[in-house]
């Protein structure tokens, strides 16, 4: 079983797409084990996006992610990291496949609605940045036997 961090970025919250985005991930079969509305401060944004430090879009990225409330969530399921990345679509909405969140709801790489961890190491690091252990709930979902065998 795998866990991954999802962020509905400030544009997703402002545009009223929280339910749509979470709904797509839920409908796919992934299970929420943590979720909250929060505002990311500069220091947290710098830690989360440390790998992008020095890139031309870095400052703009920090401005964007700290510009309003976000929803952070941890989703669980077999292969959750890859499943979320696929459901989100490519970083650049113009390159994302139709049917993905970024293709269906976004046009600009700087307003691409959603974040998902990209590897098991990143997922562990990012979940730890945004959630305390006691904010994550391990629970049995009765429908799981109809989603994976």
Pick from Mg ion, ligand DAT, none: which does 104 bind, CB < 5 to 8 A by kind?
A: none
Instruction: For ligand DAT, give the closer residue by CB, 31 or 115.
Output: 115
* Phi then psi dihedrals of residue 26, to 5 deg: -65, -45
118 binding ligand DAT? (CB under 6 A): yes
In contact, 17 and 8? CB cutoff 8 Å: yes
Q: What is the set of active-site residues?
A: 115
Instruction: For Mg ion, give the closer residue by CB, 30 or 88.
Output: 88
- At residue 42's C-alpha, the angle toward residues 94 and 105, to 5°, is 20
115 binding ligand DAT? (CB under 6 A): yes
Instruction: Name the CA radius of gyration of the chain, rounded.
Output: 15
Q: 83-92: string of b/e by CB count within 10 Å (b at 16+)?
A: bbbebbbbee
Work out which of 14, 39, 53, 91 binds ligand DAT, going by CB under 6 A: 91
22 binding ligand DAT? (CB under 6 A): no
- At residue 3's C-alpha, the angle toward residues 7 and 38, to 5°, is 30
112 binding ligand DAT? (CB under 6 A): yes
Distance CA 37, CA 7 (A): 10
Pick from ligand DAT, Mg ion, none: which does 2 bind, CB < 5 to 8 A by kind?
A: none
Work out which of 40, 61, 70, 71 binds ligand DAT, going by CB under 6 A: 61
Residues that bind ligand DAT (CB under 6 A): 52, 57, 61, 91, 109-110, 112, 115, 118
Binding site for Mg ion (CB under 5 A): 118
């Amino acid at each position: 079983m795998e866990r991954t961090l999802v962020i509905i970025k400030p544009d997703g919250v402002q545009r009223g797409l929280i339910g749509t985005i979470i709904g797509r991930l839920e409908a796919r079969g992934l299970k929420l084990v943590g979720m909250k509305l929060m505002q990311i401060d500069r220091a947290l944004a710098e830690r989360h996006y440390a790998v992008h430090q020095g890139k031309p879009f870095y400052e703009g990225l920090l401005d964007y992610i700290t510009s309003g409330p976000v929803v952070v969530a941890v989703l669980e399921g077999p292969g959750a990291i890859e499943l979320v990345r696929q459901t989100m679509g490519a970083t650049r909405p113009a390159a994302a496949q139709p049917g993905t969140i970024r293709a269906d709801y976004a046009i600009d790489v700087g307003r691409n609605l959603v974040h998902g961890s990209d590897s098991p190491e990143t997922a562990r690091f990012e979940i730890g940045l945004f959630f305390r252990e006691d904010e994550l709930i391990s629970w049995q979902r009765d429908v799981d036997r109809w989603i994976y065998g």
